[in-house]
Amino acid sequence: MLAHLINGISLGSIYAIIALGYTMVYGIAKMLNFAHGDVIMVGGYVSFCSMMYLGLPAPVAILAAIFVCTVLGIVVERLAYKPLRTATSLAVLITAIGMSYFLQNAALLIWGANPKAFPNMFKDVEAIEIAGARVSPVAVVAIVANLIIMVALTLFTTRTKVGKAMRAVSEDKGAATLMGINVNFTISLTFAIGSGLAAIAGVLLCTAYPTLMPTTGSMPGIKAFTAAVFGGIGSIPGAMIGGILLGIIEILARAYISSELADAIVFGVLIVVLIFRPTGLLGKQIHEKV
């Protein structure tokens, strides 16, 4: 039971890291970046190639993945979303879905359809025993990484001027602009942070579930989006809570109910939560501006 719980928190931590990307971008650019899941996949491939083809050590491979994904995030925003800044949200949504398919198919062209076996970075590390439950090292790393990221992001958004500017932009772009805040830079930065985090999540995910293919990012992407909505989209602690709860529900459902039904149960819980709390667990009440 304890092992399942820890595994659930670990999977949930990965979801939470991905969900941050969704929730921050939504909070600031007011758009759902459905290509976010595919950035995870790119992060996986970049670290895979760095390790297997270039022979780089794992930490360098992770940095390479973070770098590539950060740049990718900024470029995608500049090319695909920035021209639509004043367009209807539906147009942006369709573009994001298109970008998602574009990234998947680009990966298919570059790396082929065959699944790649992701190398285990922790093959020399013994399984860790916590109170009698044996837990894989990657599970522990995921939980720790998630905690560090949460603390760092919270400090960033509350204590630094750019973080404050982000919150200001998320509340009122127009007023922020008129106070001298560069909204485009702020949005780029948000995409950069979200995509960098997606790269970390990609490496963790591929280490925990070592099959890498062009569609690797879709399902975790959707789940993380669910987690973000579950916790209240736009809220950073919401993404954390939503992600972890989702991870626990999924692992427990898989262990005790049915592995086939696990995903159905996860999404079922989401539906129930949204019926009772339409803005998610920590979601802001939406008030109409008059």
Q: How far is the CB of 152 from other proteins (least distance, A)?
A: 8
Please give the backbone phi and psi of residue 263, each rounded to the nearest 5 degrees, phi first: -65, -40
The single residue among 172, 256, 268, 277 that binds other proteins, judged by CB under 8 A, is 172
The residue behind tokens 């949204």 is 274
Which region, judged by CB under 8 A, interacts with other proteins, from 36-44, 126-134, 180-188, 225-233? 180-188
CA atoms 22, 46, 52, 64: torsion sign: negative
Q: Which position among 159, 260, 271, 285 is part of the footprint of other proteins (CB under 8 A)?
A: 159
178 is a contact residue toward other proteins (CB under 8 A): yes
Query: What is the nearest approach in angstroms of other proteins to the Cβ of residue 123?
Result: 32
By CB under 8 A, the residues from 268 to 287 that bind other proteins are 284
Q: 211 - beta bridge partners?
A: 117
Residue in 39, 46, 181, 201 binding other proteins, rule: CB under 8 A: 181
* 165 counts as binding other proteins under rule CB under 8 A: yes
| 171 scored as a contact of other proteins (CB under 8 A) | yes
Mark the segment that binds other proteins (CB under 8 A) among 34-42, 98-106, 174-182, 224-232: 174-182
CA angle 269, 271, 273 (to 5 degrees): 70
CA distance 62 to 48: 9
The piece of 75-83, 93-101, 178-186, 255-263 that touches other proteins (CB under 8 A) is 178-186
Residue 161, interface with other proteins (CB under 8 A)?
yes
Contact between 189 and other proteins per CB under 8 A: yes
Burial 68-103 (b: 16+ CB within 10 A, else e): bbbebbbebbeebbeebeeeeeeebeebbeebbeeb
User: Does residue 168 interact with other proteins by CB under 8 A?
Assistant: yes
Of 55, 180, 271, 276, the one binding other proteins (CB under 8 A) is: 180
Give me the amino acid identity at 103. L
Among 32-40, 47-55, 87-95, 163-171, the segment contacting other proteins (CB under 8 A): 163-171
Structure tokens at 24: 């921050």
CB 224 within 8 Å of CB 38:
no
Contacts of 199 (CB under 8 A, 6+ apart): 39, 40, 42, 43, 46, 47, 62, 65, 66, 68, 69, 70
Q: Binding residue for other proteins (CB under 8 A) from 132, 174, 260, 276?
A: 174
**Count of residues near other proteins by CB under 8 A:** 26
State yes or no: residue 67 binds other proteins (CB under 8 A): no
Given candidates 56, 80, 128, 156, which one binds other proteins under the rule CB under 8 A?
156
Identify which of residues 183 and 269 has a Cβ nearer to other proteins in the complex.
183
The correct pick among 130, 162, 257, 272 for binding other proteins (CB under 8 A) is: 162
Q: Give the residues lining the site for other proteins (CB under 8 A).
A: 156, 159-165, 167-168, 171-172, 174-183, 189, 284, 289-290
